[in-house]
């Protein structure tokens, strides 16, 4: 329990709250434009107005989430400069370029999103209107690319020389393409597409369960679940590559995630369990050789144990549960997505049965939870560093007063934004249901 004001604690808490809230809208901001593009393209290729209406309605809702994402993204920018001045002083010299490019990518996304929204039915060629959507998708994904480059740099700093506390030989491009960049960017993009597909599928599943059996809802569910199945596979493959990256570049994070304390060969993978005070693992499910396979593709490979690092440099062991939760949800989403795809191709099974629809509905919030768990695993697993090997988290934070007051202020803001966003989206679509729009358009 804190007895005195601790600016480092409150800085970490406020930044964590902001990122936890923002990442939900950032994930939607990356994934939804891609799903809109898929629906729009399918509508053009099949000359199917239902898919075109899907794209149109999804785009309307997407604008609301973009507005909230802009506010929370601005808050992050402010807090990085106010709460982490030493880190930003370091970062601005080495990794400032992707910060700038991320802003530029967002401008492209926002400009073309407005043009795309207000030019429906204005072109003789549907393809011309579709092409206006491409910069939106590219801009949103590029935003994720550039900001993830910064996070990758924080985990595997690259592109500079640090001598006697001074940065020299700075190479901004090399810093952007740090060793962590490929797997982190791929995982962020793939998981964003997967999560967004499940969120949209959840809405269609709810509609069908409520007896709204128009073919529009079934087409929407089929499109989103097929997309989810594709990205469930890609996310799993990238996750395996991420495990191998950790084994090579951040073995302490992998060891903490698996409570692997002693360096050994034929290392098992631990699922669940309870850790005692003397680091003895109880009640865990052990999968023989699995950790060695995850780390090195070899069941007999040696995996470095956490005891190789001083206790003050070891990540918090709670990351084990974050890692397990993320993996468990990923497996669930994969099973449900493939079950729907297989059932839809079977003449015996009904892909619209109530049990599967309920599982799809559960998959929506679970996908968002997996995103949160993955982000927390990345950030907490990097501790005690803000820039691994160069700057401790405690060294990067502010020493200013009143951060606790800022925490209350921003928490109230996020609560207001979250409630407002949900209410606006609910009223937008409940007061103008798709059946009414279908009837008005003669579909």
List all residues 6 or more positions away from 250 whose beta carbon is below 8 Å from its beta carbon: 155, 156, 381, 382, 388
Separation CA 193–CA 210 (nearest Å) = 26
| Res 3: pLDDT | 54
Residue-wise pLDDT tens for the chain (443 aa)? Answer: 445 778 888 889 998 999 999 999 999 999 999 999 999 999 999 988 899 999 999 999 899 888 888 888 888 888 888 888 888 888 888 888 998 898 889 889 989 998 998 888 888 888 998 999 999 999 999 999 999 999 999 999 988 888 877 888 889 899 999 999 999 999 999 999 999 999 999 999 999 998 888 888 899 999 999 999 999 999 999 998 998 999 889 999 999 999 888 898 888 888 888 888 777 888 888 889 889 988 888 888 888 989 889 988 999 999 999 999 999 999 999 999 999 999 888 777 777 889 999 999 999 999 999 999 999 999 999 989 999 888 888 888 888 888 888 889 999 999 999 999 899 988 888 887 777 877 777 77
- Size of the chain, expressed as the number of residues it contains: 443
Domain layout of the chain by residue ranges: 195-390
Give me the pLDDT at residue 1, please.
43
- List the structure tokens of 429: 């679509």
The pLDDT value recorded for residue 148 is 93
Q: Which residues touch 429 (CB under 8 Å, ≥6 apart)?
A: 57, 61
What is the distance between the terminal CA atoms of the chain, rounded to a whole angstrom?
A: 62
Q: Which are the contacts of 311, defined by CB distance < 8 A and separation ≥ 6?
A: none
Is the C-alpha dihedral spanning 9, 10, 11, 13 positive or negative? positive
Question: What CA–CA distance (Å, rounded) separates 195 from 201?
Answer: 10
Q: Which pair of tokens denotes residue 50?
A: 């239902």
| Encoded tokens for 164 | 């006697």
Contact in structure between 278 and 317 (CB atoms under 8 Å): no
Q: How many CB atoms lie within 10 A of CB 221?
A: 24
What confidence score (pLDDT) does residue 177 get? 93
Closest CA to 201 of 66, 351, 304, 308: 351
The predicted structure's pLDDT at residue 81: 85
Q: What is the pLDDT of residue 403?
A: 86
Select from 383, 392, 391, 387 the least CA-distant residue to 154.
387
pTM assigned to the model: 0.92
Residues 6+ apart with CB under 8 A from 362: none
Three-state DSSP class for 385?
Answer: strand
Mean pLDDT, the chain, whole residue set: 89
Q: What are the CB-based long-range contacts (under 8 Å, 24+) for 43-48?
A: 43/126, 44/126, 44/127, 44/130, 48/219
The torsion defined by the Cα of 82, 84, 90 and 92, in degrees rounded to 10, comes to: -40
C-beta separation of 373 from 225 below 8 A: no
Q: CA dist 13 to 83, 372, 407, Å?
A: 11, 15, 8
Q: What would the pLDDT profile of 299-343 be if each residue is shown by its tens digit?
A: 888 889 898 899 889 999 999 999 999 999 999 999 999 999 998
| CA 288/CA 405 separation, integer angstroms | 49
> Which pLDDT score is estimated for 75?
86
Cα–Cα distance, 209 to 89 (Å, whole number): 53
- What's the pLDDT at 353? 87
d(CA 319, CA 342): 35
């Amino acid at each position: 329990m804190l007895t005195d004001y601790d600016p480092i604690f409150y800085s970490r808490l406020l930044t964590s709250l902001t990122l936890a809230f923002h990442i939900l809208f950032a994930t939607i901001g990356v994934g939804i434009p891609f799903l809109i593009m898929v629906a729009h393209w399918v509508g053009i290729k099949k000359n199917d107005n239902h898919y075109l209406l899907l794209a149109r309605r999804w785009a309307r809702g997407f604008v609301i989430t973009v507005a909230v994402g802009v506010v929370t993204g601005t808050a992050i920018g402010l807090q990085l400069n106010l709460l982490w001045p030493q880190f930003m002083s370091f970062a601005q010299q080495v990794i400032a370029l992707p910060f700038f490019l991320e802003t530029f990518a967002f401008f492209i996304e926002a400009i073309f999103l407005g043009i795309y929204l207000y030019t429906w039915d204005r072109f003789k060629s549907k393809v011309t209107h579709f092409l206006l959507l491409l910069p939106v998708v590219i801009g949103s994904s590029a935003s994720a690319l550039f900001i993830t480059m910064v996070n990758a740099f924080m985990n595997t700093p690259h592109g500079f020389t640090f001598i006697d506390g001074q940065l020299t030989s700075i190479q901004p491009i090399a810093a952007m393409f740090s060793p962590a960049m490929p797997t982190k960017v791929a995982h962020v993009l793939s998981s964003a597409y997967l999560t967004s597909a499940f969120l949209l599928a959840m809405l269609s599943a709810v509609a069908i369960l409520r007896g709204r059996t128009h073919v529009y809802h079934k087409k929407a569910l089929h499109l989103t679940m097929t997309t989810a199945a594709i990205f469930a596979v890609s996310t799993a493959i990238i996750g395996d590559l991420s495990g191998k990256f950790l084994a090579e570049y951040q073995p302490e994070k992998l060891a903490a995630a698996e409570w692997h304390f002693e360096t050994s060969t034929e290392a098992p993978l631990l699922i669940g369990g309870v850790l005692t005070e003397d680091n003895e693992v109880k009640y865990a499910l052990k999968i023989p050789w699995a950790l060695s396979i995850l780390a090195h593709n070899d069941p007999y490979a040696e995996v470095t144990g956490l005891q190789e690092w001083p206790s003050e440099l070891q990540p918090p062991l709670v990351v084990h549960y974050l890692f397990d939760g993320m993996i468990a949800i990923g497996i669930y989403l994969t099973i449900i997505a493939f079950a729907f795809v297989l059932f839809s191709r079977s003449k015996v099974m009904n892909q619209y049965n109530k049990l599967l629809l309920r599982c799809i509905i559960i998959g929506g919030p679970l996908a968002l939870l997996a995103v949160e768990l993955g982000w927390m695993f990345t950030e907490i697993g990097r501790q005690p560093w803000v820039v691994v090997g160069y700057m401790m988290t405690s060294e990067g934070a502010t020493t200013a007063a009143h951060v606790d007051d800022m925490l209350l202020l921003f928490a109230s803001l996020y609560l207001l934004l979250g409630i407002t966003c949900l209410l606006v989206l609910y009223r937008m679509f409940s007061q103008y249901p798709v059946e009414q729009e279908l009837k008005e358009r003669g579909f």
